[in-house]
């Protein structure tokens, strides 16, 4: 009987050891397959975005640099964070308290930097639509690179400050050996809620709404100069297409953001501590990370150049001499 009980522990020789996670075999296999598939798709989609923008010279624009930066962060989620969570889901944590803390700090930094990139993309689209004449002077490759680097540095310092207690004393939230848990005090959770959720989503909504209104206004101004009946009908179609495209982009970005982050920030909204461990990985952490799988679809897959570049990549046309200068736009 003692052997049987010891076999269920992560560290049988320790009385304070955690018990090994136990789930039904069919349930475990289904979860493993689903999460592994999400991880694989996340890596594949973001890798295609990275190769496309990096390879073709015509795609080296400020906007695409932001999309490239977002794809790199999302690739790290699918390549580094998701696999660790898949393994930990049905196993004990044997890598020590230090690596446990480092893992969660890296997780939070990548997630925050990804959200910051989404805000930068919104700002880029706002300037491009609302101030197109000054866009080339205001938004350059160098300034874009500086903004991306600055946002990443800010995210690093912000997360280190927020998780300072866990860095000073790794494993402070663990209740037993073989566990990897990070508990964030509700005050820190509220701060995180404001800076990682409320402010970004507000900025994104305001900027995209402004883009939407300006795009519709420009389309209607163009229609007012058309006098022929046929041309007026054509102008009406243009307005409707502009409205639908702007509304669709705004709707997708906001809905995905809310859907992926609301469950994680629910404890902060209800005034309790936020506990992040294997038991919440499927519902909270994985849902937040699932955004990394959807980002390339929202920000790149809808672009015609991305579909063309995929064909060139999958058919190995990019290996031919001079393929970098192919007209992709």
Q: pLDDT, tens digit, for every residue of 200-255?
A: 888 988 888 888 787 777 667 666 665 444 544 444 444 455 445 555 665 677 77
CA-nearest of 115, 250, 274, 256 to 185 is 274
Structural domain harbouring 28: 23-325
3-state helix, strand, coil in the chain (%, to 5): 80, 5, 20
CA-nearest of 23, 45, 7 to 281 is 23
Query: Looking at the domain assignment, is residue 223 inside a domain?
Result: yes
Q: Which residues of 14-47 are buried (b: 16+ CB within 10 A; e: fewer)?
A: eeebbeeeeeeeeeeeebeeebeebbeebbebbb
Query: Looking at the domain assignment, is residue 1 inside a domain?
Result: no
Query: Looking at the domain assignment, is residue 285 inside a domain?
Result: yes
Cβ proximity of 274 and 181 under 8 Å: no
Q: Indicate the number of domains in the chain.
A: 1
The predicted structure's pLDDT at residue 2: 40
Query: Looking at the domain assignment, is residue 2 inside a domain?
Result: no
d(CA 300, CA 46): 9
What CATH number did the domain enclosing 240 receive? 1.20.1070.10
Strand partners, 177: 17
The predicted structure's pLDDT at residue 150: 95
Query: Looking at the domain assignment, is residue 15 inside a domain?
Result: no
pTM above 0.75, yes or no: yes
Query: Looking at the domain assignment, is residue 6 inside a domain?
Result: no
Is the pLDDT at 276 greater than 50, yes or no? yes
Query: Looking at the domain assignment, is residue 240 inside a domain?
Result: yes
CA-nearest of 288, 317, 296, 215 to 49 is 296
Query: Looking at the domain assignment, is residue 201 inside a domain?
Result: yes
**Greatest Cα pair distance in the chain:** 90
The predicted structure's pLDDT at residue 169: 81
CA-nearest of 281, 211, 272, 284 to 247 is 211
Average pLDDT, the chain: 78
Q: pLDDT, tens digit, for every residue of 282-314?
A: 566 777 788 888 888 887 777 788 888 888 898
Residue with token string 């397959």: 33
The predicted structure's pLDDT at residue 65: 92
């Amino acid at each position: 009987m003692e052997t049987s009980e010891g076999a269920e522990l992560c560290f049988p020789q320790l009385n304070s050891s955690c018990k090994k996670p136990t789930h039904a075999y069919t349930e475990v296999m289904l979860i493993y397959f689903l999460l592994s598939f999400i991880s694989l798709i996340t890596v594949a989609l973001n890798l295609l975005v990275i190769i496309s923008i990096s390879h073709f010279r015509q795609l080296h624009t400020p906007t695409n640099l932001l999309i490239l930066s977002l794809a790199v962060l999302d690739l790290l989620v699918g390549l580094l964070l998701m696999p660790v969570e898949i393994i930990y889901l049905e196993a004990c944590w044997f890598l020590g308290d230090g690596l446990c803390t480092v893992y969660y700090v890296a997780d939070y930094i990548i997630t925050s930097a990804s959200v910051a990139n989404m805000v930068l993309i919104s700002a880029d689209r706002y300037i491009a639509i609302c101030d197109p004449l000054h866009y080339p002077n205001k938004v350059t490759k160098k300034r874009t690179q500086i903004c991306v680097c600055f946002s990443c540095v800010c995210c690093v310092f912000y997360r280190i400050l927020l998780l300072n207690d866990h860095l000073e004393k790794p494993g402070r939230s663990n209740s037993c050996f073989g566990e990897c848990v990070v508990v964030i005090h509700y005050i820190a959770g509220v701060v995180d809620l404001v800076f990682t959720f409320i402010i970004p989503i507000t900025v994104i909504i305001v900027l995209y709404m402004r883009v939407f209104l300006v795009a519709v206004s420009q389309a209607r101004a163009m229609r007012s100069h058309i006098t022929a009946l046929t041309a007026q009908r054509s102008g009406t179609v243009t307005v409707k297409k502009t409205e639908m495209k702007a509304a669709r982009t705004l709707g997708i970005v906001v809905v995905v953001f809310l859907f992926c982050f609301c469950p994680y920030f629910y404890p902060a909204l209800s005034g309790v501590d936020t506990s992040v461990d294997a038991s919440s990985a499927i519902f909270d952490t994985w849902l937040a990370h699932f955004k990394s799988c959807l980002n390339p679809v929202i920000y790149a897959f809808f672009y015609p150049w991305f579909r063309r570049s995929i064909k060139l990549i999958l058919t190995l046309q990019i290996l031919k001499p001079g393929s970098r200068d192919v007209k992709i736009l």
